[in-house]
Homo-oligomer: A and B are copies of this chain.
Amino acid sequence: MGSAERKEREKAELKELILTASKKILLSEGQEGLSIRKIAKAIEYSPATIYLYYTDKDAILHELMEIGFEMMNKYISGAFTEADPIKRIHETGHAYVKFGLENKDWYHLMFNSDKPMKHIEKCKEDWDQGMSMFQFLVDSCSEALNMMGGSKLDPKILALQLWSCVHGLVNLAQTERLEIVETDQTHELISKTLESMLISVFHR
């Protein structure tokens, strides 16, 4: 009778084992190196077994994406407590970029790949971590606009403007496009551009 619960626990354990193995491979070999067969070898099961625990490779990537959002939260959470909305946006932006540069493969999973997105018909429900992060930015923008007074700017559009900029910067850096702007100056370029962006929006 009680064995049913044990079974379920074991099943959850193997599912977790698959995930931690995937995580390890993603870290050591990147998204390109993450294959079902490699995961299978790492956990010492056959490739087919993985399909008894995850419907797809995409399903695994989707779980990794969620882990990625938790990782990102650790970078950004420091900004949550900042009272001044503009300073808060500053901190968030820098943390966002830092995360993107230090966790290329995770960033890709979260913001570039449409693979784990294909896994999302429900879209909004399943990208809720990303959505609430964006909402946090919208709220901060709203606060900042109120503070600056009398602005007819849409906080949503402003948030999207900021997001696009940092997203673009991270992508350009990751694909080495910033090298053509100025060689070996990626970090410098990013912080300067981010600063320029925030000044042109908030005038300080």
Q: Which residues of A contact B (CB under 8 A)?
A: 111-114, 117, 123-124, 127, 130-131, 134, 153-154, 156-158, 160-161, 163-169, 171-172, 174-183, 189, 192-193, 196-197, 200-201
Given known contacts A154-B192, A201-B200, is B160 in contact with A167 (CB within 8 Å)?
A: no
Q: Which residues of B contact A179 (CB under 8 A)?
A: 123-124
Q: Which residues of B contact A174 (CB under 8 A)?
A: 114
Contact between B134 and A181 (Cβ–Cβ < 8 Å)?
Answer: yes
Contact between A130 and B192 (Cβ–Cβ < 8 Å)?
Answer: no
Number of copies: 2
The CA of A160 and the CA of B200, in the complex, are separated in Å by 13
What are 15 A-B pairs at a CB distance below 8 A? A111-B172, A130-B177, A153-B196, A156-B182, A158-B196, A160-B178, A160-B181, A161-B193, A161-B197, A164-B167, A165-B165, A168-B168, A168-B169, A171-B171, A200-B201
Q: Which residues of B contact A131 (CB under 8 A)?
A: 180
Q: Which of A180, A193, A196: most chain B CB closer than 10 A?
A: A193
Q: Which residue of B lies closest to A199 (CB)?
A: B153
Classify the secondary structure of A's interface with B. helix
Q: Which residue of B lies closest to A175 (CB)?
A: B114
The CA of A165 and the CA of B158, in the complex, are separated in Å by 12
Contact between A180 and B130 (Cβ–Cβ < 8 Å)?
Answer: yes
Q: Quick one: which of B157, B166, B193 contacts A193, CB cutoff 8 A?
A: B157
Given known contacts A130-B180, A154-B192, A201-B200, is B161 in contact with A167 (CB within 8 Å)?
A: no
Contact between B157 and A164 (Cβ–Cβ < 8 Å)?
Answer: no
The CA of A95 and the CA of B117, in the complex, are separated in Å by 28
Q: Quick one: which of B154, B171, B182, B183 contacts A167, CB cutoff 8 A?
A: B171
Q: Which residues of B contact A178 (CB under 8 A)?
A: 160
Q: Which residues of B contact A112 (CB under 8 A)?
A: 112, 171, 175
Q: Which residues of B contact A127 (CB under 8 A)?
A: 180
Given known contacts A157-B192, A169-B164, A196-B161, is B113 in contact with A180 (CB within 8 Å)?
A: no
